[in-house]
Amino acid sequence: MNTNREHSNLHLHLPRLLRHFGGACLKQEDSYALYRFQGSHVILIHTEEGYRYYEVQSPEKKLEAFDLVVSYMAKMETNPRIPLWDKVFEFYNKLSKDSDLVLTEKYEPAFKTVKKDFNHFHTYLSRPTALEHPLYTSVAGDSVFENRFGQGPDKRILFPLYNIQNEVCGYFEDDLEDIHPYGESAMEHGLWYSQIPEKIEALFVFSNPKEAMAFHQRFQLKNAVYLALGSINHTTTRILFQIHRLTKVKKIMLSFTGDSKIAGFVRDLHFISFMEEDFRLRVADGAIQIQCRQKDPKAFARFYTHCRDYNEGLRKHFLKHRSILDQHLVNAYSLVLSQDGEQINLRVPLEINALQLMIWSYYKNFLHTTLDILKPKKVDWNLEWEEIPPLQNEGKEVQVEEYRIAQ
Range scoring the smallest mean pLDDT among 125-134, 250-259, 275-284 = 125-134
- Give the domain ranges of the chain: 14-120, 124-257+381-398, 260-374
- Backbone φ, ψ for residue 32 (5° rounding): -165, 170
The whole-number pLDDT of residue 286 equals: 85
Q: Per residue in 81-119, pLDDT tens?
A: 778 888 888 888 888 888 788 887 778 888 999 999 999
Decide if pLDDT at 167 tops 90: yes
Q: What is the pTM of this model?
A: 0.88
The whole-number pLDDT of residue 88 equals: 87
- Backbone φ, ψ for residue 203 (5° rounding): -130, 115
Which residues, in sequence order, are CB contacts of 378 under 8 Å at separation 6+?
Answer: 384, 387, 388
Report yes or no: 403 and 214 within 8 Å, Cβ to Cβ: no
CATH of domain 260-374: 3.30.1360
| Comparison of pLDDT for 170 and 285, the residue scoring more | 170
